[in-house]
Structure 1
């Protein structure tokens, strides 16, 4: 909402600093809305007035020290008017009274507002009076609130104000928000506060949970009757971890009971005391890394000797990966569950919980279509390995997702996973692996029933300042090597809550078999599932603006020519789903524009003998693409026949056959896939060469084949992500047919 005084602050910047040019920024939009853009501009304006070279958005140590040396106290006299104007503008942007105008006068209203600001910050006793001191100025020129917002906790605000007042005179402690919410900044401040209380000097205290901090905490176990600053810090830590305690300086019986509840929740020895392990769990996501965990996960095959080493370490539950997206396994060839491994796990008395991860290293790897693809791919892989119904699969989010990325990418992705599971009959459950915030939000949205928390990544913004999710099943805390000799294995140690216990027995794995004809009894279910998926991404079953309805496309590209597609798949050692997906997808996209383009090609050739290529037919194939794919297949011995000349007549002939003969067009689709897998020679697209076509292509290789069918541009990449999910649905039913 526009604010008249914020508008004046924006006008002050624009008029005083040559529309931002003197500050190295663009002219501010004069809309009366506060935000970081305005605060950054005010920070640069202060630096400008202080004579600092190299202006920046950051109110850092250089700005602070220069301000301290020139104007340690900003009040009614002795300060340039523009600096006072910056104070006034900052007050208005924070919601305080700046004196009625932005006139450079430090009147009583400004003084009273500064007094109120200091009180809200909790530093009114540390910095008495109505003058602005450097650290208060720094706190003024940011977006941190100093009153509760968005249902903030009054007790957490009291903690924030207490820390500000108690430690603001220390060199590296800056005023934190007092909004009643835990955050990364508050968690960092807590570590500094602990280090200062231990007795660390400025420059030694660094906000890191290192050996010195840990040693100091081990000397300060708290119990009923303890009192002082240590109790204040401990109860602050409890509150920040959403434990219902009173903030204060005496450790009471009520505190001990709350501690027992927390210790039970995080699976620590239940003592009711503020011991080191409890301190650690309150202060950093990974907690006490010397704890023994009953679970682990890793990228190394479990052999009998390794299983014995794990059991000797007290481990029962082993997390292993359903797939490996890297062709040939790359540097981690045993990441995917290996043949016979699950049997070994069962025989050795261990249990396995499956993890599904492709890359998942950035927000672009997450979307609703990719979630659908991930869900169905995980189902297919779990069945391949022999996981029984009722198994929970943990889907990985292995990066530091910001909260907006969780909203925009992660939640739709897990909705896609959930929908894929639903359409499969919910034979498998859904878990989420990732930082605390990701796990909590995905679970709160109803998309996952348990969390596998990546707490080793303590610096992740999604871990720092967030409590352990209520539904946590596994808590990843440290990497270590256990065992020796043939039993040596590197693992990530996980604390287990008991909410998930993996599986201790397994079905016989499905082998890597060639595809067979579709089971007629599956056709209707397959058509329904394909239709559901296409509707979910905006393709109505009635065809909408497209030429063909869903049933027609499915019947033509999957059912009518199933015997041909089965033969092609067998002959070329590829999955039927690759052919079905490309053909169905393209037929679903045919519209009036495509038909007009076809007529233009025909007219041009008939009138002048000139061939002007375009994609055509149910499989939307260019004449040049069909010809190059055919010639490549001849050269490689994939087909018998002669290579075709590249001229208008030949290209037009191939184009017409792709347009007019559905069976011929379908026969060209696998040849295009083979050509693309070999790098699409002659296309000029500079594609890399994939492994020779094979039945066990990884998901990354499948994606590449599907993407290359359409091209190299951004649309081809975006569509390939959607087609990958369609492929997994097709593959689901082909797999059932070949594994009756």
Structure 2
């Protein structure tokens, strides 16, 4: 929605600075954001006399900014004040107009903003405060923000912002808040003179060990902040710096969650784990992952170093000094690992290290490749396959690319559940944010996470807590060997125990089964897309992430007439019974009609509104040889239409053909009041509802939703339900 005050800012900027060096005309759409804020920064630099204005509030702008404060009532207006007022409008504050005069209303806006930042009001806008006003950070609580985190952010600004620009106070724990807490820790450690917001060697060397009952200190308070930012489960407010029993309980709970020694003492490994994604790299581990095929020697090496679980790849290659080499598991490797008592968790990655990899359809392809490889290797039901998102995906990329990709993976795994193939669980490898989003998305609901915490600079790791479903956490890359010779490179993993890996595999006798069900799934989607009219009502039907296990409501008319659809599949054409019509399809053509179902109504419906031949042509487009079968039944005021598309000639890549029937079950329900019953018997209602189904399906196929929504159509449906077919025109 356009903000008229922001639109006024945009108009003023274009009028005042059009043609000035460095200024680019902006859209006057009333939408605030980076473009408008950038134009305000350029305008400010023009007013400050900076020779080459750019939309960045850098050191030169900070040095040149004179500071602004309240003026006398009769003071002359100026553009610096007007830019301040314009920035406030873009920030959501009301400065009392674009007057160019810094007086009572503008002073009130300044004071309110200072309080939101966490400062005592001074009514002075220095360069640091102006920089905070001229950005898109949030300084009011976000709808997803937490009040306790906002309190922490405001305190950090009030007490430690000599080390950093004012951080957002929106209640969302992210990179800037995380770094600000590290700055605070470095200050309290006594290394403020070299503070940099990174938990490096000096911070590690000076990190305190905090104990219960050691009195109220600012270091204890920083511990409380770090606990609270990681999760409300570890919150110990008020943040008074007392290491009391509640803080000890929270420390123990966090240590237990992260599989650290559960002693209630906040030592360096605990504090570093709270404030970095990888934590203390020197800790021991029993889990790892590797891209190298394991042999007898390296399996013994892993066992001797205490490793009990290893992540290995289902498919693919990896580059090395000698060129590409396979990273895919082998039957021999799995047998060796089993002999050595080392469990395995499978990873799928044939790319996934850049954003454009995640395009529509890729999740479906990858899921079937992963299922096929896991099945051939013999991974049993209950195995979690971890699909890799191996890059720093920004949140909008997670929304627009990663979650749709994973929804396709979930759809395939749901399809596999209804087949004789093993039932595999969905795991996700990625940053903390990617894993959190994948766990919470309703169409993904990842079972477990394999968190790439080793990538400490990822924006999706800094400032994000660990996902609650984490099973493995990659934290450091190491080489292990014998006698000083490097033999194997691995990534050490924390291990939560949620996914214990697979101890033994059982390769199938017929590995072609996965190809069969992959072909059937593709045929199911392809045939379903030709079902009449469904895409008008429910575009989510028969896309790559379609879930055939659900029932979908198609329409609801005034609480009287509702329609829904559900789907099933079979390897054979259902046996015929009463009220069944079969349309045969072969390379020679199409034969058959609906006359056996509709009887005397057949001519009326086919001639006037039900051009079923067009519908049959559409549906048969995905069938090389087979049939389309219609059957109807009714009970009282409710009715059901079944349409089955049966393709008996689906080719497999390795040779041969299979058959598949896709059935659409279209149901109607009518809510008939007493006056309606006066016009029709139950038998007439049932028959009319059945005809109504065919009428609706046919009309949708011919004319789409607009015709169906027309009043005449509703009248016709009511007439059908009443049993008065003569009212159809």
> Shared fold (TM-score greater than 0.5)?
yes
- The equivalent of 2:113 in structure 1 is 117
Give the whole-Å Cα distance in 1 for the aligned partners of 2:76 and 2:615.
72
Deviation at 1:6, TM superposition (A): 2.0
Q: Following superposition of structure 1 onto structure 2, how do residues 319-718 of structure 1 map, counting pairs within 5 Å?
A: 319-324=311-316, 331-425=323-417, 427-445=423-441, 446-484=444-482, 488-508=487-507, 526-527=519-520, 530-532=523-525, 535=529, 536-537=542-543, 548-552=620-624, 575-576=653-654
- The equivalent of 1:725 in structure 2 is none
Gapped runs of 5+ residues in structure 1?
A: 566-574, 585-740
CA spacing shift, 1:561–1:270, aligned 2, 3 Å: closer
Deviation at 1:528, TM superposition (A): 5.9
- The equivalent of 1:252 in structure 2 is 244
CA spacing shift, 1:222–1:72, aligned 2, 3 Å: farther
Give the whole-Å Cα distance in 2 for the aligned partners of 1:261 and 1:561.
55
**Do 1:527 and 1:551's aligned partners in 2 also have CA atoms closer than 8 Å?**
no
Give the whole-Å Cα distance in 2 for the aligned partners of 1:56 and 1:43.
7
- The equivalent of 2:7 in structure 1 is 7
- The equivalent of 1:675 in structure 2 is none
- The equivalent of 1:97 in structure 2 is 94
Give the whole-Å Cα distance in 2 for the aligned partners of 1:380 and 1:29.
51
CA spacing shift, 1:422–1:301, aligned 2, 3 Å: same
Gapped runs of 5+ residues in structure 2?
A: 530-541, 547-566, 570-613, 628-645, 661-729
Give the whole-Å Cα distance in 2 for the aligned partners of 1:56 and 1:343.
62
Give the whole-Å Cα distance in 2 for the aligned partners of 1:277 and 1:371.
38
Deviation at 1:61, TM superposition (A): 2.2
Q: Specify which of 206, 227, 249 is matched with residue 196 of structure 2.
A: 206
Give the whole-Å Cα distance in 1 for the aligned partners of 2:386 and 2:624.
37
Give the whole-Å Cα distance in 2 for the aligned partners of 1:197 and 1:434.
33
TM-score, normalised with respect to structure 1: 0.69
- The equivalent of 2:27 in structure 1 is 29
- The equivalent of 2:138 in structure 1 is 145
Identify, as 1 or 2, the structure richer in helix. Answer: 1
- The equivalent of 1:614 in structure 2 is none
**Do 1:543 and 1:550's aligned partners in 2 also have CA atoms closer than 8 Å?**
no
Give the whole-Å Cα distance in 1 for the aligned partners of 2:346 and 2:76.
65
Secondary structure at the counterpart of residue 552 of structure 1: coil
- The equivalent of 2:641 in structure 1 is none
Secondary structure at the counterpart of residue 51 of structure 2: coil
Deviation at 1:469, TM superposition (A): 0.4
Deviation at 1:311, TM superposition (A): 2.0
Deviation at 1:72, TM superposition (A): 4.1
Give the whole-Å Cα distance in 1 for the aligned partners of 2:301 and 2:357.
36
Deviation at 1:546, TM superposition (A): 5.2
Q: Are residue 84 (structure 1) and residue 76 (structure 2) matched?
A: no
Aligned residues: 551
Deviation at 1:236, TM superposition (A): 0.9
Q: Are residue 228 (structure 1) and residue 300 (structure 2) matched?
A: no
CA spacing shift, 1:324–1:91, aligned 2, 3 Å: same
- Structure 1: which 4+ aligned runs deviate by more than 6 Å? 77-80, 326-330, 522-525, 538-545
Secondary structure at the counterpart of residue 318 of structure 1: strand
CA spacing shift, 1:131–1:329, aligned 2, 3 Å: closer
Deviation at 1:392, TM superposition (A): 1.1
Q: Specify which of 34, 44, 55 is matched with residue 57 of structure 1.
A: 55
**Do 2:6 and 2:89's aligned partners in 1 also have CA atoms closer than 8 Å?**
yes
Secondary structure at the counterpart of residue 550 of structure 1: coil
Deviation at 1:54, TM superposition (A): 2.4
Deviation at 1:230, TM superposition (A): 1.0
CA spacing shift, 1:457–1:544, aligned 2, 3 Å: farther
- The equivalent of 1:625 in structure 2 is none
Give the whole-Å Cα distance in 1 for the aligned partners of 2:321 and 2:330.
11
Give the whole-Å Cα distance in 2 for the aligned partners of 1:510 and 1:396.
29
Give the whole-Å Cα distance in 1 for the aligned partners of 2:94 and 2:517.
69
Deviation track 1:112-154 (CA, whole Å, cap 9, x = no partner) reads 2211111110122xxx521101110000011222221214211
Deviation at 1:388, TM superposition (A): 2.1
Which of 256-265 and 310-319 deviates more?
310-319
